[in-house]
A and B are shown apart, each in its own frame.
Chain A
């Protein structure tokens, strides 16, 4: 009786099917459609498009903005790895230290806070903070007497992308810190005690116990961060919409602009395919790395 009902696909499927159906219909199917749509020239308002085959793919590789976007997405990935994964790990390790542990809930909460606020609030707020006349950043520079550093942060095509990337670090470093803290709570305390008895200092225990024990989490965190960097859209849209010039364009804003500003739905779908291929490649890499991680 027991065996039959829990070993029977027919009794399991009613639980799984509704969710599975939604995921397949609204997450997977659109990806196939996207591929199909990328081979037609069509606009949002017409029923039938013109078949163009792979023309848009050729166009994409010749589009200089595509390379700007790739560069900006990669910049996002590298800086986020450094601050969110690297910084988050170090901060979490320090918060686990005995002397500061009492304060952990307070710091943890404060650091995590920006992650719960919507990107449009954060983006619009930072737009004002970056404002050359009334903003806090220039105000702070003035207050410490470094007026030569004052700058129109989002208005200059040289600094704009860094200003946008910085906001993401402000928003999400605490999130990664929280994930690391959660993973660290699972490391057996005896490991540290044994190391202490052997006379290892904190730095050594960090490198020889914390990091190896967190291997999996570090890997997962890095991949979430890198894949996330290629999905960036909201922060760029809200703060610069790809400008000034097209210096802050990322794949996400490029797609949106093609679809809903220029009404080139086919080209937008092609950009969608590019995002799909990149994120899929990174995900497969993650799965491979995760597997080898388990074997070690």
Chain B
């Protein structure tokens, strides 16, 4: 290796290490300051806590984060399940069947990908009031599912296209109906892409902010992203507890991502195969 190459390599390592530090340190700072008393935080925002106040995390949970957490969990789980079921059905319908109008239906679904949620915000607000879903968890679930479906269908469809047709043909000759093909062949073989779609949908739904703020009025029904804003005004003076609340909200997604990232990457690699 020449001297020049060594310098390049060192520079790249330095850059990547600095970048990694820029990401990890603020997160560490957040979690660590969650253990401090207010005084400790203001006097020494950089150092480790004088005393590790675990009770900050308990207080944050009790101050509302616990409730928001459960609301988010419910909305996320139901939305992900619905997206997986309805999305995989539609993706199957759009990948395995040949009929007039199939391309048009696909175009309609995929163009849903491009629309900005803000454009629908006001009319959805009004519509949800009219159909009586406003200020219920279902207001979020229904709109999240509708907005997440296009991308999930797009992702799953291109994966389903890569599943060999011969399997279905022999199954059909054995007398399987289209529903049985979906259930016994497509779903089991599509597991990697279902995992990716679930993770992406879960991430988006768990973190969604605007709809959650506008479609829910009742503080007891709020999800975490909006709840945290309430918490900020409520705990204006208690930074330790506030930061603990932020840390609690960030942890589940970080853990989920680290646990499932292999599947996620694999599914994405397979799913974006051109179809």
Contacts and interface: CB of A to CB of B under 8 A. Distances in A.
Given A6-B178, A26-B142, A31-B115, A129 B99 contact: no
Contact of B119 (A14, A111, A276): A276
Given A9-B101, A31-B115, A110 B24 contact: yes
B172 interface: yes
Interface size class, chain B: 35 or more
A34 to B, nearest CB: 5
Contacts of A170: 22-23
A128 B272 CA distance: 39
Contact of B226 (A18, A120, A279, A283): A120
Given A129-B26, A260-B214, A265-B122, A117 B250 contact: yes
Interface in B77-136: 86-87, 89-90, 92-94, 96-102, 105, 108-109, 111-112, 114-127
A185 B269 contact: yes
Interface in A237-282: 237-238, 251-252, 255-256, 259-260, 265, 268-269, 272-273, 275-276, 279-280
A132 B252 CA distance: 30
A34 B210 CA distance: 17
A233 B178 contact: no
A33 interface: yes
A116 B250 CA distance: 8
A102 B111 CA distance: 39
A259 B207 contact: no
B146 to A, nearest CB: 4
A26 B146 contact: yes
Contacts of A149: none
Contacts of A268: 122
B163 interface: no
B207 to A, nearest CB: 4
Given A27-B146, A27-B147, A118-B249, A110 B23 contact: yes
B160 to A, nearest CB: 11
B209 A119 contact: yes
Interface residues of A, number: 87
18 contacts: A5-B177, A7-B99, A8-B97, A15-B92, A16-B93, A19-B89, A20-B108, A22-B149, A26-B143, A31-B120, A107-B16, A114-B23, A118-B224, A120-B228, A124-B242, A136-B45, A233-B209, A251-B118
Shortest beta-carbon contacts, A-B, top 8: A15-B93, A30-B120, A33-B123, A26-B146, A12-B97, A118-B207, A19-B90, A30-B123
Interface of B: 9, 12, 16, 19-20, 22-27, 29-30, 41-42, 45-46, 86-87, 89-90, 92-94, 96-102, 105, 108-109, 111-112, 114-127, 142-143, 145-147, 149-150, 153, 169, 172-173, 177-178, 182, 203, 206-207, 209-210, 214, 224-226, 228-229, 232, 239, 242-243, 246, 249-250, 253-254, 256-258, 261, 265, 268-269, 272-273
